[in-house]
A and B are shown apart, each in its own frame.
Chain A
Amino acid sequence: AAGVIQSPRHLIKEKRETATLKCYPIPRHDTVYWYQQGPGQDPQFLISFYEKMQSDKGSIPDRFSAQQFSDYHSELNMSSLELGDSALYFCASSLGPSNTEAFFGQGTRLTVV
C-alpha cells in the first residue's frame, strides 16, 4: 500500500539558510500534519491542512511557513535556520481531520550547522 512520502530524507543546512521539506500524502488523503521531534522528545505539532486550507496551528515559529497544494501535497518552508531547528520533521496524513487514523512518513532529518 502507498505510504506518506517525504523528501528529502536528510538535509544539512548552515545557519541562516532556508530549507524546504516536501510531503506527499497517501492517495485520497486530504489532511496533512507536520510535526517536529527533537532527540528524546515526543512529536511536537507544527501545523495542519485540510482540503488545502490551514486547519490548525501549533508551536510553529514565525520563520516557518507551510501550504498544501491542489494535489494535496504539502511543503514546509523554513527560513533563517537556527541550530535549534535541527530535528526530525514528520509529515502525517489522514482521510479527513477527525476520528480517523493518521499515518506518518519516514521523516526528514534536518541538521543545521
Chain B
Amino acid sequence: QQQVKQSPQSLIVQKGGISIINCAYENTAFDYFPWYQQFPGKGPALLIAIRPDVSEKKEGRFTISFNKSAKQFSLHIMDSQPGDSATYFCAASLEGYSGGGADGLTFGKGTHLIIQP
C-alpha cells in the first residue's frame, strides 16, 4: 500500500518559471512532511519541511503549501533555475515516538525535474 502518492513523475519547466510538485497522503497520523532533493550519485538532502499546524512555509525560492483536510501538500519552486534540475521526493512521518526519537520516513516515488535554460 502506497501511503504517499507523488505527481508528476517528471516535469520540464523553463528557466524562471514555477515548478509545482504535488503529494497526497493516506495516514492521518502523519504530522511531519519534508521535501528532499537528490542529485545523481548523491544522497537525498533535506530541502524544507512543514508540520500540519501551518498551511504554508517559505524558505527562499521554495514554498510548501499544506492542506490538512484534503491530505495534500505541494512544493513550489519559484524562479526555477537549471541548478534546480534534480529528483524531488516528498515524505511523511510521525513526528516522534514516545521514546523521544524521530520516526522513519515514508517517501513518494519522486519527481524528475528538468529546468531548461
Q: Do A and B bind each other?
A: no
Chain A residues at the B interface, C-beta cutoff of 8 Å? none
Residues of B within 8 A of A (CB): none
